[in-house]
Amino acid sequence: MARAWHLMQRPQGKPTHDDVALKDIDLPALEDGMIHVKNDWISVDPYMRVRMDDQESYFESFQLGKPMDGGAVGTVVASKADGIEEGDKVLHFGGWRDEAVVQAKTAQKLPDLGVDYFHFLSTLGLTGGTAWFGLMDVASAKQGDVVFVSAAAGAVGSMVVQFAKAKGMKVIGSAGGANKCDYVKSIGADACIDYKAGPIIKGLYKALKEIGEKGIDVYFDNVGRDHLDAAIAHANQNARIAMCGFIDGINGEVAYPFKYLALAIGKRIRMEGFIFTDFQSRMPEFYQEVVPMMLSGKVTTRETVHEGVETTFDAFLGLFEGANTGKMLIKI
């Protein structure tokens, strides 16, 4: 037996507890090529909200009345798969539950890199990989660039700030509230905009003056809407925008009336959307770059941790309320 969160109805706007249920489930019998994993850590991420809707997307929708899934790190308690033994740590997709039986070919046996294994759900996983490849590949960021990062106190945003500084860039972040802005500055940002304190377009103008720059070369977009509009308004010629997420509209809010989008033409701005799986095959080179940064302290991590599988949905809802600083994780 295990406990797993099920989607019971499609949310209308922001999800509520009426949309889900935590239920006991029977685990399938262990067959050849399968592993039984006791989850140690599970992840909740904004993209999971999209999967709650019945619409075409880059990821399969959750099915009504069925267990949901997502990233998890756990300990193998039984194995009928070559190359994976009892006691091994694995990254797999049987999250939103406390135990899972999965095909071994869908799991990754985790290497011992000298860091805690939960980092494979954050800095060394989807979170860090999204930040790194979005910044370095999609946005073609380089030394000397001025980089603007929205949701800079969040999981991906906080990694973008640190990677950009490590590569010799100037960084402006945005975050909600003075405490979060203090955190963003503590991890290296040259300036931080409190988006709760006033219009983001004015805040970005002031931040650019503060660091002695006229515009931005790169915008790493986790938010969309007014942040994206402000980035276009203050972009330099040939600026690049890596479009990672639109959390400020993910729950079906009224469409945002962009005021400055047409400026992208004359400024020759390149905007490109991407997802982590575009670069997943390149994670070994990512480890080579980032693990030394972690071990040396050049890149630090911060997590917001809930305990127990029963807290998973509350942790998920917290993503849309700014309740996390750094990566949101559930410790089982």
Residue 322 pLDDT grade (very low, low, confident, very high; cuts 50, 70, 90): confident
pTM, 2 dp = 0.85
Rounded CA-CA distance 212/192 in Å is: 14
pLDDT tens string 165-201: 999 999 999 999 999 999 999 999 999 999 999 999 9
pLDDT tens string 71-121: 999 999 999 999 999 999 999 999 999 999 999 999 999 999 889 999 999
Rounded CA-CA distance 158/153 in Å is: 5
**Whether residue 13 has pLDDT greater than 70:** yes
242 neighbors 139 (Cβ within 8 angstroms): yes
pLDDT, position 116: 93
Rounded CA-CA distance 306/303 in Å is: 10
Rounded CA-CA distance 46/54 in Å is: 16
pLDDT, position 255: 76
Terminus-to-terminus CA distance in the chain, angstroms? 15
Per-chain mean pLDDT for the chain: 94
If we measure between CA atoms, which residue out of 79, 73, 155, 81 comes closest to residue 111? 73
